Structure 1
Amino acid sequence: MLQTNGTDNWVSRDNMPPEFRPGPAVSLAEVLAVLAFIRRNLFTMSLTCFAGLGIAILYLVTAVPTFTAKAQLLVNTKVTLVDSAAVSTVVESQIAIIKSESIASAVIEKLGLAQDPEFATGQVSGMISRLLGWSKPKTEANAARYAVEPFERKLSAKRIGPTYLVEITFDSRNPDRAAQILNAVAEKYITHQMDKASLQDEKWVTDRLNELSIQALAAEKALKDYDRNNKTKDAADSADTRDRLAAGAESAKNAYDNFRHVLRKTEATQQQSPPVFEASLVTGASPPLGASSPKPRIVLGIAIVGGLLLGIAIGMLRDLSDRIRTSGQKACPSAEDGRIERPLPDGIRPDHQFEPSAKAKPVRLTGSG
């Protein structure tokens, strides 16, 4: 029978592949050391945790909440773009327009945000620079420009995935104010795109068309009135006057017809000229129901973890100082009552007893006789 030796089948830990090697085991002594450390510093860690919680609660009570309103815009184009890079460029360009200074200035002027204290706070550095003469003094004329910077900090826009959707948000201390400002931003952006796409001003076109129509009707009416009132007169005497009125009526009618023809041609050119961007509001902004910051759970969690780590650090420093003190006491000579113990010679040390000499022989005393 073939027998195998058990030692031949034994695989050393060093010879095992790295993925099959067992990890380092935690000894019982290490576990007991950790438990002993926690027991020694339990009061300190508890104290630092409660201190962190107190600071966090004080911050949550005194902090001014911030509300974030959200809205979604659809940036569309009449030309289908197949290249994803081109689509990304188009959407990023529209995001830059949304966050531009022109849109911010229009909203600030419409809602009167230049006088809002929320957009005037946090400008201590600007006040100092104005006092030192590094910038122009703030007046009613340029107050709107000073409000643009805090307005742009509160406004953000980002693309939602690989789509034409853009999410815009605005932060404010007042939830109703945040929604109002965000809806105004969306309105100004859409109006800006519509004004940019149109090549003619609608009001001017309507007024000009009405003016030419009135002129044509007036010239035609004048010609008819002249023919009706001059039937009994000599035709040769009124030929020049009638020809002049007929030419005026024809000219007015041609001007009206030509303007309508140019207007229709312009509209057709606008419909065929790529790309024309259009934007629409998918989801309007509503007043948020809860504050976006500060978040109590995150603040309290950070306070607890920070307090616990601080307590552990204090305990480790305390243990380290105790070890240094103990090692210093062992290394330095001891002193009691101002006396320094000096090492004694080996012959008179207490721990060295006199050993009987191996050559010494016992003495026997004998009596005489």
Structure 2
Amino acid sequence: MKMLQTNSTENWVSRDSMPPDFRPGPAVSLADAVAVLAFIRRHLVIMLLTCLAGLGIAILYLIIVVPTFTAKAQLLVNSKLTFADAAALSTVVESQIAIIKSESIANAVIEKLGLAKDPEFATGQGSGMISRLLGWSKPMTEANAARYAVEPFERRLSVKRVGPTYLVEIAFDSRNPDRAAQILNAVAEKYIAHQMDKASLQDEKWVTDRLNELSTQALAAEAALRDYDRNIKTTNAADSADARDRLAAAAESSKNAYDNFRHVLRKAEAAQQQAPPVFEASLITGASPPLRASWPKPRIVLGVAIVAGLLLGLAIGIVRDLSDRIRTSGQTIGPSAEDGRIERPLPNGIRRDHQLEASAEPKPVRLTSSG
């Protein structure tokens, strides 16, 4: 038995002798827990009142705020080209996202659906009332109304890429769920139409300019030949014949160039219609009216209100405790109101209980006799 006690004593390692890395961390003491409970008990009414106030404000916000509905759709930006790396693919998809969010698409949708007259998008027109009264703003026209509608339109439209794919998700926020789906489908339609007409839009100006140039040259050569035949002189027949041959050859060459260009252009248009497009886009999932509002969400609003109310109550409680401590520590011992004497603290060597014992000792009584 004694051997066991000796071994247990030797195997015991004191907590103070343990290395710092192996010492357990400080735990919450019972006094700290009691202090926290006492703090909550003292300020429980304040915290409940702040929570109720926060809930009241949140409920009032949910009643007043106009709900927002978000419609969503997905586009497939399908490229027929092959890319060497993911960076080139990402660049192409980001370029298409920029086209969807461009002002040209917004103007086309605003013009098609008449959003310039919609109060939801015409809110910016009334913000310059003072400027209009002072003459600082231009008079309202249909073009200005459309420009005012572009800013809220672009703010409500969001476009993002779905992972490392060709899929692009577009979303639109509106107070009316049917209106949100209608606008989003119009955006997809205008974007797809823009992609289909992109090649013809790029080449249209050059083709028109070239046709006009060749036509002008052919007409000028024919007019020069007619003028020469009208004003020809018979005095020098050999020189006249040579000049007329040159003018006739120039007129024929200009006409052949114009005809050949038109023939090549028709063949190119036919081949382009038969060949698949190099870059195409398609609507994978059309937008439908959302069933629930995307904002506000009652659970999130009420939860934030409760947490904010608790934090506000704790802050008020802490401030009250600090003010009480400052007021208590700031009080000084002043003169007594009864006898005007100044009370001073006892010396450190004299204890309070000794003073009480000394005052409790009986005092001698002096007796006197009348005789």
Q: TM-score, normalised by structure 1?
A: 0.71
1:264 is matched with which residue: 267, 279, 283? 267
Which residues of 2 match residues 1-369 of structure 1 at below 5 A? 6=9, 10=13, 12=15, 15-16=18-19, 18=21, 20-121=22-123, 125-131=127-133, 135-198=137-200, 262-268=265-271, 276-329=278-331, 331-333=332-334, 335-336=336-337, 340-343=340-343
Q: Secondary structure at the match of 2:123?
A: coil
Change (3 A) 1:326 1:272: same
Shift of 1:139: 2.0
Shift of 1:332: 3.7
Shift of 1:82: 3.3
Shift of 1:10: 2.0
Does the Cα contact within 8 Å between 1:45 and 1:311 map onto a contact in 2?
A: yes
Does the Cα contact within 8 Å between 1:197 and 1:276 map onto a contact in 2?
A: no
Deviating above 6 A after TM superposition, structure 1's stretches of 4 or more consecutive aligned residues are 255-258, 269-273
Does the Cα contact within 8 Å between 2:115 and 2:121 map onto a contact in 1?
A: yes
Change (3 A) 1:42 1:260: same
Q: Secondary structure at the match of 1:79?
A: coil
Q: TM-score, normalised by structure 2?
A: 0.70
Which residue matches 2:220? none
- Which amino acid counterpart does residue 333 of structure 1 have in structure 2? G
Change (3 A) 1:65 1:9: same
Shift of 1:85: 0.6
In structure 2, what is the Cα distance between the partners aligned to 1:114 and 1:74? 29
Q: Deviations over 1:125-182 (max 9, x none)?
A: 5444555555533322321011100111011100111111111010000000000000
Shift of 1:197: 2.7
- Which amino acid counterpart does residue 174 of structure 1 have in structure 2? N
Q: Deviations over 1:253-293 (max 9, x none)?
A: xx9999666433345468889x9321100100000001000
Change (3 A) 1:292 1:322: same
In structure 2, what is the Cα distance between the partners aligned to 1:281 and 1:65? 28
In structure 1, what is the Cα distance between the partners aligned to 2:140 and 2:91? 38
Aligned CA-pair RMSD: 3.7
Higher-helix-fraction structure: 2
Provide structure 1 residue ranges, at least 5 long, that are not aligned to the other structure.
202-254, 357-369
Which residue matches 1:207? none
Which residue matches 1:361? none
Which residue matches 2:251? none
Change (3 A) 1:340 1:121: farther
Change (3 A) 1:49 1:71: same
Q: Secondary structure at the match of 1:292?
A: coil
Change (3 A) 1:345 1:324: closer
In structure 2, what is the Cα distance between the partners aligned to 1:21 and 1:138? 77
Q: Deviations over 1:51-99 (max 9, x none)?
A: 1000000000010000000000111111022311111111111111001
Q: Deviations over 1:173-207 (max 9, x none)?
A: 00000000000000000101111033678xxxxxx
Q: Deviations over 1:20-74 (max 9, x none)?
A: 5433201000011111111111111111101100000000001000000000011
Shift of 1:334: 5.7
Q: Secondary structure at the match of 1:198?
A: helix
- Which amino acid counterpart does residue 342 of structure 1 have in structure 2? I
Q: Secondary structure at the match of 2:186?
A: helix
